[in-house]
Structure 1
Amino acid sequence: MKIKLSNFTAAVGLLVMLAIHPSHAAAGQAADQLKKTVDTVLNILNDSSLKGEAKKAERRQKLREVIYARFDFPDMAKRSLGAQWQKRSPAEQKEFTKAFTDLLEGAYVDKLESYNGEKVRFVNDRQDQDHTEVSTKVVDKKGQEYSVDYRLHQVNGDWKVSDVVIENVSLVNNYRSQFNRVLAKSSYQELIETMKQKKFSAPAAKS
C-alpha cells in the first residue's frame, strides 16, 4: 500500500535535513558538499531573526538561493521531459525548466519549514567517476524509516544533485511518466499549463 509521507519526509526528497554528527559524515567530496548545503538550510530554519510570518518571504528566498545552488534543476528538467526535450525550441526549453523548477518548489521546498525533529541517518556513498550516490535513511516521529538516495554529478567542479530516489522511486522518472501521460493525449502547451497549476504529484513511498 502507499504511505502518505509527512510534509518534511516529502521535502526530504528534495533536500534531506541531515542531523549527522561529523564522525558519521561521508568521506566523499560530494557528500561533504551536500552536508554543507544542508547545514546552511538548518541554520536558516533555526535563525530566530528569520522566524515568523513577517519574515516568511525573506526566509524562503534564502532557502531558495541555497537549494538552487546545489541542485541541477536544468538537467533534471531536461531528463524529466525525455525525448520531447530535443523537439522544443530554446525558448520552450527555458520555459519548461522554469515551470519544472517552480513545480518542485511547490512540492518540496515550501514544505521544508515543517521540519519537526525527524532524524536522518547517513548510510554510505558510492562514487563512479563523475557520478556519486549518497544514501540516507529518514526516521519519522512514529519510527517509520524511509530510504532517500541522492544522485550527484559534477558541474564546473561542484557536485550537483541530479536526481533524488525516495523508497526506490526516482523523482525524475516519476515526473517523466506523468509528463508523458499528458503529452500522449494533450499538447505541449497544455503540459506547461498543467505544470503551472501544480497538478502533478510527488513520489510517495510504498510498503
Structure 2
Amino acid sequence: MDGVVGVLNDKGLTSTERRDRVSTIVDETFDFQAMSQIILATNWRNASKNQQARFIELFRELLENTYFSALDSYSGQTARLGWERVKGKRAQVQTFVVTSNAEIPVSYKLRQKQDDWFVYDVIVNGVSLVSNYRTSFRNLVKQKGMDGLLEQLQQKVAKLRSKQTPVQ
C-alpha cells in the first residue's frame, strides 16, 4: 500500500506513468489465479482452460480498472499499518486508510508462494472482495453459464475503460 501511496504522491509522474506503476504494483502483489479459483469455486473446476484463462484476465482488468476509479478520488490520504498475523504460509495484514475524518480498515489476506507473499483477498470495512464477487458471479453463472459471465465481465471492463479519467 505504501508503494501505491508513494506513486500517487509523486508529482513528477504523468497520469499514464502513475497508472502504469500502480498496475505493475497490483500485478506483482495480487494472486489473480488464486482469487479466481476462490471466487468461482466449483465453477472453476467445470470451466475449460480457455475460460479459466479468460476469467483471470478479465477479473484482473476489472479489479485494476475499479481500483483506478477509486484512485481518481485520491486527495492525500495516508496509510497506517495496524497489525499482522502469520500462520504458516498464510497471513493477514490490517491497515487503515486515514482520511481527514475517518480511519477506514483495510485488511489483506496473503498466501506465501516460494519466498514471496501474494494478496488473495482484500477486506474493506469488514466486507470481503472475494466473497462479494463469489456471490454475484455464482448467480450469473447459474443464470447465463460461464460464457455469459465472461461476456458480462468483458462489457463491464469495456465500460470502466471508457470512463477512465487520468489520475492526477
Matched, 1:49 2:12: yes
Equivalent residue of 1:121, what SS? Answer: strand
Identity percentage of aligned residues: 34
For the residues of structure 2 that align with 1:43 and 1:159, how far apart are their CA atoms?
20
Among candidates 65, 70, 92, match of residue 106 of structure 1: 65
Structure 2 counterpart of 1:139: 98
More strand by share: 2
Q: CA deviation at 1:151?
A: 0.6
For the residues of structure 2 that align with 1:78 and 1:94, how far apart are their CA atoms?
11
Structure 2 counterpart of 1:153: 111
More helix by share: 2
Q: Could you list the per-position Cα deviations for residues 53-81 of structure 1 after superposition, in whole angstroms to 9, with x for gaps in the alignment?
A: xx333331122112210111111112111
Range moving further from structure 2, 169-178 or 56-65:
56-65
Among candidates 130, 134, 140, match of residue 182 of structure 1: 140
For the residues of structure 2 that align with 1:165 and 1:73, how far apart are their CA atoms?
16
Residues 74-89 of structure 1: pairs in structure 2 closer than 5 A: 74-89=33-48
Matched, 1:191 2:154: no
For the residues of structure 1 that align with 2:47 and 2:146, how far apart are their CA atoms?
9
Equivalent residue of 1:116, what SS? Answer: coil
Equivalent residue of 1:197, what SS? Answer: helix
| Segments of 4+ moved more than 6 angstroms | none
Give the TM-score taking structure 1 as reference length: 0.69
For the residues of structure 2 that align with 1:156 and 1:49, how far apart are their CA atoms?
35
Between the two proteins, the alignment pairs up a number of residues equal to: 157
Amino acid in the other structure paired with 1:171: L
Equivalent residue of 1:186, what SS? Answer: helix
Amino acid in the other structure paired with 2:102: Q
Matched, 1:165 2:123: yes
The answer to whether the Cα contact below 8 Å between 2:47 and 2:146 also exists between their aligned partners in 1 is no
Equivalent residue of 1:198, what SS? Answer: helix
For the residues of structure 1 that align with 2:68 and 2:116, how far apart are their CA atoms?
21
Structure 2 counterpart of 1:123: 82
